[in-house]
Chains A and B, each alone.
Chain A
Amino acid sequence: MTKEYKTIVEVSGPLIFLDKTEPVGYGELVQINLPDGTTKRGQVLDTSADMVVVQVFEGTVGLNEESGVVFSGETIKLPVSKDMLGRILSGAGEPLDGGPRIVPDERVDVNGAAMNPYSRMPPEDFIQTGISTIDGTNSLVRGQKLPIFSGAGLPHNEIALQIARQAKVPGSDEDFAVVFAAMGITNEEAQYFMEDFEKTGALERAVVFLNLADDPAVERIITPRMALTAAEYLAYEHDMHVLVILTDITNYCEALRQMGAAREEVPGRRGYPGYMYTDLASLYERAGVIKGLKGSVTQFSILTMPGDDITHPIPDLSGYITEGQIVVSRELHRKGIYPPINVLPSLSRLMNSGIGDGKTRDDHKAVSDQMYAAYAEGRDLRGLVAIVGKEALSERDRKILEFADLFEDRFVRQSRDEDRTIDDTLRVAWEILSELPEAQLTRIDNKYIEKYHPAHQKTSE
């Protein structure tokens, strides 16, 4: 069965070409035995009666025509078990923490299958992250995929960690796990995450997959699939609520482009492959909740926008697949505001189904819309003030301008370990909104103004 072929006719970048094989399945896992005794792994990309193309995960250094190739007869599978919790694995699923190999309950195809839209449960359980700019204005719900769009040098890792620490569904204490997949991040960054996980005890409830910057780029293509397979297993077989953190999607896409170039494919925008949308969708879409099952997979990926450009293909295609995005702003970061989340380009598409009466509070949406509208106008006025000076503004405009400052200073800014409840967040929101004249609050129904506006509270008491 385990026939070894020594029929390599061409090696080109991460690809090897073989001829004269028995029929080989598309996507099969391959082992390559080098003459020096080392082994590498790969996957079949193209198979025909005459020629088989294999993509080698660990790079093709040292490969030659003498090397032997063994086809496994099956696609890439991840051994899964509940014992994975607390373990640190390589980007290809091998233990890195010196512990024993995972004794599998099951071996699952890492590509997964598409969830039947009919089986999906529309996500609606509000997750409280303790960060006002997320809970208040871009609420996250269970089963959502909400990436952080960031830039080099911005504190996205801190934000992700703060969320991983604080995220909870108010009033529930269900089983919870974190799956963390590092794709091409530096050793230092990985250490930072590991230390935080260990310090807070989160590691016990986490599965970590590490593909670091100096690991082969090709391996990066399977790392997130491994992580999501583990997450799905924990969620749907063990009823856990799994938060998946993938970092950094940009490195993943770079690896995808590298592979595309090696395969001499026709490139799409900026050299990224034309199928990048479909490929990213096959990752992001593996979030959700299934009707009748208890667990859920929520994705919180980190993506650094090259040159802070949100129209770059990677954030652009991601934005079309994910249910919104949290945008980290360099401008706010420079002002010394943490977390420097700019709510204007940020969005949570599932917010409306997760908030409101019985979930958060009846006035939540109106308050959020009002703050958005006023803050957007205030930011525009800043541009105007730079030209004409504050004096030229009308009284109304001056109030709005002040609101924008208050919003950044009181609502956005919070400390790195400040875990605000949703009530705290809405209280801060009303405090700053009450600085505006009541007639300006056109987005808020009168009944909420009467119920929650601080001025009315005093008169009623």
Chain B
Amino acid sequence: MEVNGEIYRVAGPVVTVTGIKPRMYDVVKVGHEGLMGEVIKIQGAKATVQVYEDTSGIKPGEPVVNTGMPLSVELGPGLLESIYDGIQRPLQVLQEKMGNFIERGVTANGLDRERTWEFKPTVSNGDAVEGGSVIGVVQETANIEHKIMLPPTVSGTVKEIKSGSFRVDETVCVLADGTELPMMQKWPVRGPRPVAKKLMPTKPLITGQRILDGMFPVAKGGTAAIPGPFGSGKTVTQQQLAKWSDTDIVVYIGCGERGNEMAEVLNEFPELEDPKTGRPLMERTVLIANTSNMPVAAREASVYTGITIAEYYRDMGYDVSLMADSSSRWAEAMREISSRLEEMPGEEGYPAYLSARLSEFYERAGSVNSLAGLDGSITVIGAVSPPGGDFSEPVTQNTLRIVKVFWALDAKLSQRRHFPSINWLTSYSLYTQGLADWFSENVAPDWTDLRDNAMDLLQQESELQEIVQLVGSDALPEDQQLTLEIARMVREYFLQQNAFHPVDTYCPFEKQYKLLKSITKYGEMATAALESGVPMNKIITIESKDELAKVKYEEDFDAALDVVMAKMDEEFAQLGGN
């Protein structure tokens, strides 16, 4: 039901309109060019609209149309491999329509209306179906079977079900009450899609990044935050996660970030292979790119667009990971809009509802049993960009109150080219206990011990470093010097990982285990040798120790490691310690 009104006032992206009988969050088309906007405030006859596009040249008195619908995304086959802006307009279509620069007033459907999909029904005439039930499947990409589900609000008895090739907006199913259902459905982005039950997360998200999997794991269905000052490697970490996480679907939201970096993602993803399936990574990915110079209101919406798409795939029973880079830009978009509305500011000018919005968003993550009875999950990993690297600022603090895993990036480490520059002393994961069983069953029974032992070494190192700062390392007793040396090996051989090295960029769990085990073994042998009187400088200068540093780069890791470890045994035997 469309209602026409007119513009009263224009001040940047905030436009006041009259005569549209608004409901909150209705989508409206503003001005002669039909710029898209959303009602965010109603005051008497006037409604305040945040417009997703540039408003230069728009005049009071121009027409406004209320579509009567909240901001929604189109859900159906064709989402995968797509690249959208913050309000689900495919960037490729925008380029075809208006060239290399994004002009305003252009609409584009989220799903391609021309393309046809092979629909195979999984229900028959007369079957009773409820909201969220699967009525058929479409092979969306080589490895992803897209389940066509009833919209959560619809239920009834199947009167007619079709089979064959259809476009997303063609009817494939008719219910007894006459409801015609196409493959595509719409869902308003600002509210979560319903589920049958929320479950406890029990499996880790395997990322192939040693410090993440090994030290601070996140569970599938969990939430994690990566805060860090600029230049500390947030984006690289996020991209590594998007590339290597062992989830079925990846939704990557570039929210208010750099255009050139987005271009790199857009160029690189189609060429990368999924380590599990060998297919292009793009086939399991949905990219949302709303760069920092694209309209601020669309940036605010981009996070919701992303998580709604993630929920849709979760409902099909898939494990989804969602990367939001960066949630701080999203919070700033809220702040900017709030300040244009002249709302009373909270901490540092952010709106008072910042905390509520952040927790609502992260709460949409989780491991669930969907309405169709399938188990799926969404893991949300949010980058946070604290001003000046100060973690006490509101976005970081409000995020930390919600998320269970904290990967603290450290500028000092990145300056030393220690990558990923995640600080092992300040980071934490609240999932380590819950996942301990999984690790001992699937990795190795002694994995948790190895990990705790390594963490303990690093902790000891930081305490010893304080003494070294005062008196120099030569003043320490030899056993403590050895501790420092082994801790250094843990840092450099295990924690450091080169995202740009073809082999080292992804490290399977088995390799992580062997690597840490080897370092621990060196530690044990070295300690024993020292106790039996072998001089310290001989122990730390054995060749195999330096060679251990480089095995992680070897293509045939197992063979290389065997050679190094055999040599290590030999060298220790020669030292005569054992």
Contact = CB atoms under 8 A, between A and B. Distances in A.
Say if A and B assemble together. yes
Interface of A: 23-28, 45-49, 74-75, 109, 111-123, 143-144, 236, 265-269, 274-275, 277-278, 281-282, 284-288, 290-291, 293, 310-313, 316-317, 319-321, 323-325, 344-345, 347, 349-350, 352-353, 365, 369, 372-373, 376-377, 383-384, 387-388, 392-394, 397, 439, 442-443, 445-446
9 contacts: A24-B59, A27-B56, A27-B57, A47-B59, A266-B339, A266-B342, A323-B258, A347-B231, A392-B475
B55 A27 contact: yes
B8 to A, nearest CB: 6
Q: Which of B94, B289, B292 has the most CB of A within 10 A?
A: B292
A377 B289 CA distance: 38
Given A47-B59, A274-B332, A285 B10 contact: no
B56 A109 contact: yes
B3 interface: no
Nearest to B468: A384
Interface in B390-425: 390, 411, 414-418
Q: Which of A26, A112, A282 has the most CB of B within 10 A?
A: A26
B374 to A, nearest CB: 33
Nearest to A51: B9
B435 interface: no
A272 B329 CA distance: 17
Given A118-B94, A285-B291, A350-B260, 14 more contacts: A48-B60, A49-B9, A115-B102, A117-B259, A117-B262, A118-B289, A122-B263, A266-B339, A275-B296, A316-B388, A317-B387, A324-B231, A373-B417, A393-B474
Given A274-B332, A392-B475, A445 B553 contact: yes
Contacts of B292: 277-278, 281, 284-285, 321
A28 to B, nearest CB: 7
Interface residues of B, number: 83
B196 interface: no
A120 to B, nearest CB: 4
A313 B389 CA distance: 11
Nearest to B345: A266
Contact of A46 (B9, B92, B260, B261): B9
Contacts of A397: 473
Contacts of B100: 115-116, 119, 236, 290-291, 293
A15 to B, nearest CB: 13
Nearest to A290: B100
B361 interface: no
A392 B471 contact: yes
Given A49-B9, A118-B95, A394 B417 contact: no
A114 B470 CA distance: 53
A114 B102 contact: yes
A290 B292 CA distance: 17
B574 to A, nearest CB: 19
Interface string B64-85: 0000000000000000000100
B60 A115 contact: no
A379 to B, nearest CB: 9
A116 B92 CA distance: 9
B57 A75 contact: yes
Given A114-B102, A311-B388, A394 B474 contact: yes
A393 B474 CA distance: 7
A305 to B, nearest CB: 12
B266 interface: yes
Interface string B459-471: 0000000001111
Contact of A117 (B60, B291, B333): B291
A388 B292 CA distance: 49
A313 B293 contact: no
Interface string B249-270: 0000010101111111011100
Q: Which 5 A-B pairs give the minimum distances between C-beta atoms?
A: A311-B388, A48-B9, A281-B292, A392-B472, A120-B263
B92 to A, nearest CB: 6
Contacts of A353: 264
B28 to A, nearest CB: 17
Given A46-B11, A109-B56, A114 B349 contact: no
A344 B231 CA distance: 11
B170 interface: no
Interface of B: 8-12, 16, 54-62, 83, 91-92, 94-95, 99-103, 229-231, 235, 254, 256, 258-264, 266-268, 289, 291-296, 329, 332-333, 335-336, 339, 342, 345, 348-349, 385, 387-390, 411, 414-418, 468-475, 492, 500, 546, 549-550, 553
A116 B500 contact: no
A439 B547 CA distance: 10
A269 B230 contact: no
Nearest to A141: B260
A321 B332 CA distance: 14
B101 A311 contact: no
Contacts of A27: 55-57
A242 B289 CA distance: 26
A384 B469 contact: yes
Contact of B101 (A114, A122, A287): A114
Nearest to A21: B60
Nearest to B546: A439
A310 B415 CA distance: 15
Nearest to B343: A266
Nearest to A280: B292
A439 B468 CA distance: 23
B469 A115 contact: no
Nearest to B56: A27
Contact of B266 (A24, A118, A286): A118
Given A113-B102, A117-B291, A392-B475, A285 B258 contact: yes
A300 to B, nearest CB: 15
A388 B387 contact: no
Nearest to A370: B417
Given A25-B56, A122-B260, A278 B336 contact: yes
Contacts of A122: 260, 263-264, 267-268
B10 A47 contact: yes
Nearest to A143: B260
B349 A311 contact: no
A442 B71 CA distance: 53
B262 to A, nearest CB: 4
A26 B339 contact: no
Given A26-B58, A278-B296, A278-B336, A113 B349 contact: no
B388 A274 contact: no
B263 A26 contact: no
Q: Which of B261, B416, B469 has the most CB of A within 10 A?
A: B416
Contact of B415 (A118, A266, A376): A376
Contacts of B59: 23-26, 47
Nearest to A76: B56
Contacts of A45: 11
A350 B261 CA distance: 8
A46 B329 CA distance: 25
A116 B94 contact: yes
A293 to B, nearest CB: 8
Nearest to A393: B472
Given A23-B61, A118-B266, A113 B348 contact: no
B289 A311 contact: no
A21 to B, nearest CB: 9
A120 B492 CA distance: 36
B348 A49 contact: no
A388 B59 CA distance: 71
Contact of A265 (B8, B229, B295, B339): B339
Contacts of B9: 46-49
B101 A116 contact: yes
Given A114-B291, A442-B549, A388 B95 contact: no
A325 B235 CA distance: 16
B480 to A, nearest CB: 14
Nearest to A120: B263
B472 A311 contact: no
A118 B416 contact: no
